[in-house]
Structure 1
Amino acid sequence: MKSRQQSVGKEAPVHADNEDAWRADSEAGVWAVADGAGGTGIYAGEWAQHLVQQVPSLPFQEFDDLAHWLDAGWVSFFDTYQPQAQQNYLIDRKFMGEGSSATLATLHDQAGMVHWRVYGDAIALCYRPATGELRASNPDIRQFESAPDLLNWLNSPHPDGFRSGSWQHQPGQQYALVSDALGQYVLMAYASLHGDLETVRLVAQQPTALGNRAQAHLIHWAGKQAHFDESVWTPLRMALTSPVRFLAYTQQLRAQQLLGPDDYTGMIIED
């Protein structure tokens, strides 16, 4: 299978800073997206890049495999960035006291099965254009109401942050990895058009930024004869063909209040 992917920072095109990272290895059948959590620690983008590059060729079979992988892989990152951090007292204090954090989502294509693994609130998706069915590593938009579990080289991961599963591949079936803000958009749009409207309404009642976006989705899709494929999935798929298109796509969704301010990374994998 092949992939198309793009990533853009929340302040583009004025500032190019972007703490998301991705990896696409179609030959090996490995894809990954990591979302560096800039609100805690330091070197979040670098840590996200380190994680995606270190994803093993075989999927984690259980949480303990992820924990052992993290325990074995953080040292090279620390050895690279700790000398840099030591050059500034405040940076070193933050690095040693808070570490570096990110979420992670991976896909592995093996013998007709696509295995997904997620830690935190990045999202893995499986879409069937023939039926319009969308499946997700966690389809519940209420997951975004609280801070996600994060992989941090400083601390051991928590079992509650890990999710795993597999999808049997079928001709024409498509898969995606998206960082959290883009995942919120896709899941809210799908729920508004074909899914759990009651949950969207419940979230929309909350006096939060997520609640405001849920309310915007309810208003935007209400009364429209819209189909998820042509209104949500295909525009995302086409936006991933170039950086210019992806930037314009995310800016338009932000202007419509359907997408929250964040770094955005999307990847679609298909035959």
Structure 2
Amino acid sequence: MTTATQPAPRDDTALLSAHGLTLGFDGRTVVPSLDVAFARGTVTSVIGPNGCGKSTLLRGLGRLLRPQAGRVALDGGDLAGMSSRATAQRMSILPQTPHAPSGLTVGELVARGRHPRQRWYQQFSHSDEGAIADALAATDIADLAATPLEDLSGGQRQRAWISMILAQETELMLLDEPTTYLDLAHQVDVLELVRRLNQDMGRTVVMVLHDISLAARYSDVIIAMRDGRIVAEGPPSDVITPELLWEVFGLRAEVIQEPTEGRPHVVPLGAGSVKSAAAPGMRAGLQVMSEADA
């Protein structure tokens, strides 16, 4: 069994943490008694095979799913005890399949990101308008502001949702598969944006990604999950090893260092059974590639 390569950050350095967090639905436990912490100012990617609990964990951290047991803490305070408005001013979440009312335009959707910072008697300020404009520009969809969401392609719609949480201007962002429906160029655009928000504005980001190479390139910390449990966590170069990734995903691949930053990059070779203890003929340099979460 692979062990964690780096312990979770101590609570006194963590912006977000979970303690004994147990999550599930339909009478089934998906994530059993999990402890994890996310250090302030870092980008963390959660990887793992379909159905391993990645999205369930993110929903529990974002208060979209009530815990069966345990607690989530935001800056040391119990998240369950915070008001919805106070939480939304500090933490934004992009679910895997967000929904919006029929007929809503891109501009109207993005404007909703400002609601946690307004009172019922308050009109949009110059600050609100500036945040909306900046969010639309950051995702390159300013020209679509008047377009109904249902008229957009899948990739354009995904960028509109990302714009909404950018307009929310929270210090913590939870992103469940933010590159879904995007072509490769726009996947890179979104992740470059995430990196800029982290490096230039100090945003803390926790995201679920299915592409291990992109996760390795844009993350400070990788968390690998299987069967609702954390198998390993730490820097990408430590976590993305042939042994751990065969154990978690049951796929074989060459692993090389990408040339610009020396991060791990995956070249898949083939699949096996995740129940196998070892890959037949497995040799040094083999690595697996992750699958999308269900």
What TM-score range do you get, normalising by the shorter chain?
0.3 to 0.5
Alignment TM-score, normalising by the size of structure 1: 0.32
Alignment TM-score, normalising by the size of structure 2: 0.30
The structure whose residues are more often helix, as a share, is: 1
Between structure 1 and structure 2, the one with the greater Rg is 2
